[in-house]
Chain A
């Protein structure tokens, strides 16, 4: 399968990419690792007329200690996150979730910023950043703005990024220790999650988010509230599918996904001692 023809331009800085986005408008897409975009283009689900390659903007690949939080460059690859010592020490859930994306070849190319900007509710990293209560940094022609992960994901493959904005950084609170867990349920090793659950202690609160239980990654607020009011893991997990609208596909019905969400939430909470 070959994508439809497009024009190719290479940006060497975020600034240059943003100005190219301004020039080409909604005909253009940013190309980072390409591991979400290129498969969609091969299937003609995405047909941009211009690709702006940001894969060589090398100053956006990092994990930095910022005191109470870590900042992660948008073009940091999953394979880098998986093995990064600082991330493993200060935010182990994110390093672990990065190691569960696709397979090694995919993790050598795919980037965290690309995964978040793609905003697939079946992807692992968006739900992990949401569970952490992370912040997404977007740069546009008029400057930089911070978007809460709660407001970032707006619908199927849709985020609150403007057409002329580029996601440049992800900030996550430090959450060291062992009180975290990620449950990914799939049929084959490299598949997307049929349902996934991320649970993590951040400061005093226990946060739980769900993969593939709606059009966006979502926080399991019913579970979080039950835990706050003293419910045990097993009782709290019964609320995992409350107020969700899980999709149906050949892998699972909405009812089965709701069941999985409850079972996986229980496992995640128990395994992490939350």
Chain B
């Protein structure tokens, strides 16, 4: 059902809290069980219920990729997925990448080595998208890295060093 502007009173009448649904999600290796409203987006569940604020909200319209996390090993935009859709699934956020509190994940290390960030806002999403890309294509060309990261925007326009970071992490020669 698609409603036009004439139905706005009806739309806002349904903005009060609705019934909740119980979900159980594996997040960064641990099981989390919570009651959520069905309309809760995964990104807000991660940030506001679980306190995992490493995942950023950028555009909130599935364009910028700042909210990229892994669901069952694949990159997804967590602003365009409901928390209930993640019920029973395996979610990894930027906080779950590093092997320990004192070590970085190789992709994070590569971003640091190659100055793959400027302001850093897009970085968690870039790193998650880049890990998913290398999982599907372990030795991408420069073009494949650029195309593979087309769902992630860097408003500092620091793409050159981001691409360099991903290529370096894949064990290939730098540009």
**Residue ranges of A at the interface with B (Cβ–Cβ < 8 Å):** 1-8, 26-27, 29, 31, 34-35, 38-42, 44-49, 51, 53, 55, 79, 102-106, 108-109, 157, 189-190
Contact = CB atoms under 8 A, between A and B. Distances in A.
Contacts of B84: 8, 53
A6 B60 CA distance: 20
A34 B18 CA distance: 20
14 contacts: A5-B18, A7-B38, A27-B1, A31-B82, A35-B62, A44-B3, A48-B1, A102-B62, A102-B151, A105-B77, A106-B77, A108-B74, A108-B132, A109-B76
Nearest first, the 5 closest Cβ-Cβ pairs linking A and B are A103-B151, A5-B18, A8-B38, A189-B150, A108-B74
A104 B77 CA distance: 10
A42 B1 contact: no
A106 B11 contact: no
Given A55-B85, A102-B151, A104-B133, A38 B80 contact: yes
A45 B77 contact: no
B41 A51 contact: no
A4 B151 contact: no
Contacts of A8: 21, 38, 82, 84
A168 B7 CA distance: 32
Most chain A CB within a 10 A radius of its CB, from B14, B39, B40, B81: B39
A39 B62 contact: yes
Nearest to A5: B18
Nearest to B151: A103
Contacts of B77: 105-106, 109
Interface string B54-93: 0000001111010010010011110011101100000000
B163 interface: no
Contacts of A109: 76-77, 80-81
B37 to A, nearest CB: 7
B85 A6 contact: no
Nearest to A38: B80
Interface of B: 1-3, 7, 10-11, 14-19, 21, 37-41, 44, 60-63, 65, 68, 71, 74-77, 80-82, 84-85, 129, 132-133, 136, 147-148, 150-152
A46 B2 CA distance: 4
Contacts of A44: 3, 11
B1 A46 contact: yes
A104 B134 CA distance: 12
Given A39-B62, A44-B11, 13 more contacts: A1-B61, A5-B15, A7-B38, A38-B80, A46-B1, A47-B3, A49-B1, A49-B14, A105-B68, A105-B76, A109-B76, A190-B150, A190-B151
A233 to B, nearest CB: 28
Nearest to B16: A5
B80 A104 contact: no
Contacts of B14: 4-6, 47, 49
Contacts of A6: 14, 18, 38-39
A190 B76 CA distance: 14
A25 to B, nearest CB: 9
A162 B44 CA distance: 34
Nearest to B148: A104
Contacts of B16: 5
